[in-house]
Amino acid sequence: MRQSFMAYAMSVIISRALPDVRDGLKPVHRRVLYAMYDMGNTWDKPYKKSARLVGDIMGKYHPHGDTAIYDTIVRMAQDFNMRYPSIDGQGNFGSIDGDSPAAMRYTEIRMARLAEEILADIEKETVDFIPNYDDTLKEPAVLPSRIPNLLVNGAAGIAVGMATNIPPHNLGEVIDGLIAMVQNPDITIKQLMKHIPGPDFPTGGFIHGKEPIVQAYSEGKGIIQMRGKAFTETIKRTGKEQIVISEIPFMVNKKRLIEQIAELVNEKKIEGIGDIRDESDREGMRIVIELKRDSVPDIILNQIYKHTALQDSFGVNMLAIVEGKPKLLNLKEALKAFLDHRREVVTRRTAYDLRKAEERLHILEGYRIALDNLDAVIKLIRNSADPKVAKEGLMSNFGLSDIQAQAILDLRLQRLTGLERDKIMEEHRETGELIGKLGAILADEKEIYKIIVEELNKIKEQYGDERRTQIVARSEDISIEDLMVDEDMAVTISHEGYIKRNPVTLYRAQRRGGKGKIGTTTKEEDFVEDLFIASMHSYILFFTTIGKVYWIKVHELPQASRAAKGKPIVNLLNLEPGERVSAFLSVREFVDGRYVIFATKKGLIKKTDLMSYSNPRSSGIRAIGLEDGDELIGVKLTDGQQEIILSTLDGQSIRFKEEQVRPTGRGTYGVVAMRLDEGDAVVSMEMLSHGANILTVSENGYGKRTEMDEYRLQSRGGKGIITMKATDKTGRVVGGQQVTEDDQLMLVTNKGKIIRLRIKDIRVIGRNTQGVRLIDLEEGERVVSLARLAEKEEDDEEE
């Protein structure tokens, strides 16, 4: 059993699944091309029925199933599978959508013109022939290919215990590499890659990253990342944008790709797609993805790359048969094997031509002797009883060989005219020169390589084309952030849990007392509850009522129009039933030496290392322990050396040093920061900076700035001092912010109205005051959130 399996395994490896390094063909492909050549089914002859060829191949050379042979022929004719098809097909040979080809009785084929170069000079004893399966015919052991077919068209196959997967390449580039190698046999792989930068797939697209190509070319193995080519168009009629996919990765089924995208839309994994349609035709591929209004094309395209075969990988494994054994090849070894093959082919062809020339010269020498003795030769032939006697007489009287004597007897009388005599003598001279030239070639290997280079240049000139696949920077280096401007975003979350982002430039700066602009359309019972500012490239950490934390990139948040309500936050985070987001933190990057400070409604505070929150799971991780009835009201980043100020609903505040709060782990509870009266609660927490003022805003739209010096340092755990005189007129305190003259303020009301104010327009007054009106409110309207915005550009004023 062991011996039988080993014999079977070697048969599969050598005789079925792996290509020969010299012609780049598996036995079945070689037999298909040779059978077509033998039948005269060349590129310049009429097409023949595929079934006729399949029968001929199966009967003469390949004793396997007709379906397997026809499948091979179909693949050799498909321009989306073969970079340079070797068969010219007429009829339905399948499609990139995965459609099946027509039955072999309907389709017709002939060799492609390029295939002629794979079989060129086979009649000149350039390759060895071996017996076919029943020892009745001979078939070539390898083809004399002038095309570096192993690299140009690639190969794929699964043997026993091994497999090959060689990507296709551009013919012109491979030829340039071969010529460079002839000129410099010590050339390095890095130098070769100046000529052969990477694979060139028939379906085009992109290859992301040079390093995987270098690895594959150096070691013979590697994983190359492929991406389809897509661009964005604007529909003139509607103004909406659409993504158009014009090229897809090699070996990807277009129909299945469209189905994948549709499934993601149906499963709500990708939002913002309105319609998908296939507009591909004879002019080329065109998959159109129509986007909904206000969708961001770059984000949607990035999600499509991430979740579908529009981004795929190609596992390179350059395994081929070398001298009868499987061998893993690097790029240089593959090129050298082809050059060695061509050297042998050219040598054998030259030797064949030399032998034929010498044989011809031998006959011409006999003609010359006969013409010099023409009368005697004619008399001898006329007086001979039969051809045998005449031949013997010529050989004995004129010193001719058997071959020469027979050639003279076969000579037509018209060749004895003066003109024909001159032609024979001229041919004699030219043949002598040819023999000298061919002998010189065989005597000098440099001449052989010179011929190889000349033939390669002719192949490139006749069949070379432009590269289809572009090689770009590594996909790891091309993140969604690279596609987006790093601008500040106003992120709003409504009471009912709807979230969206908008550029802060959407809201023009107004003088205090302005009416504001509608920032969010909410249901009557809903209102905007939180607003904060974060850059597009930042992380947003979402802390929830049950003490867990989730994070998401700002650019992953849905961008909606100013009046739109956004998307439910539950669609972005895997929240538990009854769990809701209660605090937020914008983090540019996770680094050591930074801390997260938590403040709760009941006046507790906690400090934990930022790195503890750098790897949250999709289901969230524990951020803080909370008592019943308590919840987070604020989360801040700090360097460990800050001062903290807390403000309450009833207008109290306390200022103390952060060092009074020692760091604890993720799941721990806080310590007392401020003692509260019954019914009071902490509403805001700030980290103080030198030179800032404390801005306090009330729910009825009043606010003021107060010098920081008016808030004396106290010990953690006290009741604090007054920060704003809260009355029926002002309402309770919404929050406190530290601000500077250059900052701007954004206020949000329960009716979705947002107003943007310059801080310098708000008066600086004492702690125990009511402040000035910042925003005119309608009946039943109140301020629910505020956020500070550092001014980066001069904004237009609006009266």
Over residues 472-497, the pLDDT tens digits come to: 976 554 455 555 667 888 888 775 67
pLDDT tens for residues 262-278?
A: 999 998 888 889 999 99
Closest CA to 273 of 252, 255, 256, 287: 287
Residue 651 C-alpha from the chain's centroid:
57
Question: In one letter, which amino acid is 75?
Answer: R
The string of pLDDT tens digits covering residues 375-392 is 898 899 888 889 999 999
Lowest mean pLDDT: which of 141-145, 434-438, 486-490, 646-650?
A: 486-490
- Within 10 angstroms of residue 714's Cβ, the number of other Cβ atoms is 17
- Describe the crossing of helices 445-463 and 171-183 by its angle, rounded to 10 degrees: 160
Measured at the CA of 126, the angle between CA 120 and CA 132, to 5 degrees, comes to: 95
Q: How many residues does the chain have?
A: 799
Sign of CA dihedral 416, 422, 428, 434: negative
Q: Quick check: 584 pLDDT over 90?
A: no
Active site residues: 106
Q: Which two tokens stand for residue 7?
A: 């014999």
Question: Tell me, what's the pLDDT at 742?
Answer: 85
Q: What is the mean pLDDT of residues 767-794?
A: 80
Q: How far is the C-alpha of 291 from the C-alpha of 306, rounded, in Å? A: 18
Strand boundaries in 441-570, DSSP class E: 470-472, 488-494, 498-503, 517-518, 528-535, 539-544, 548-553, 567-568
Kindly indicate the confidence band of residue 22, based on its pLDDT and cuts at 50, 70 and 90: very high
Distances (CA, A) of 48 to 87, 171, 447: 12, 28, 41
What does the pLDDT read at residue 237?
82
Q: What angle do CA 162, 218, 14 make, to 5 degrees?
A: 30
What confidence category does residue 413 fall into, taking pLDDT thresholds of 50, 70 and 90?
Answer: confident
Tokens 């010359």 found at: 368
CB 13 within 8 A of CB 162: yes
HSE toward the beta carbon, residue 431, CA cutoff 13 A: 19
Q: Are 74 and 101 within 8 A, CB to CB?
A: yes
Q: Which residues pair with 544 in a beta bridge?
A: 581
- pLDDT at 579 (0 to 100): 80
Arithmetic mean of pLDDT over the chain: 88
* 3-state SS class at 523: coil
Measured in whole angstroms, the distance separating CA 690 from the mean position of its chain's CA atoms is 49
Tell me, what amino acid is at 79? Answer: D
Domains of the chain and CATH, by start: 25-144 (3.90.199.10), 229-309 (3.30.1360.40), 354-463 (1.10.268.10), 485-790 (2.120.10.90)
pLDDT score at 290: 93
Where is mean pLDDT largest: 251-260, 291-300, 416-425, 758-767?
A: 251-260
For residue 336, give the 3-state DSSP assignment. Answer: helix
* More confident of the two residues 76 and 554: 76
pTM value > 0.85:
no
Residue 4: pLDDT band with limits 50, 70, 90 = low
Helices (H) and strands (E) counted in the chain, each on its own, are: 17, 41
Q: Is the pLDDT score of 521 beyond 60?
A: no
* pLDDT band per the 50, 70, 90 thresholds, residue 648: very high
What value does the mean pLDDT take over residues 562-570?
Answer: 75
Residues 100 and 122: beta-carbon distance below 8 Å: no
**What pLDDT is recorded for position 790?**
52
Q: What is the pLDDT of residue 794?
A: 35
Helix, strand, coil percent content, the chain, rounded in steps of 5: 35, 25, 40
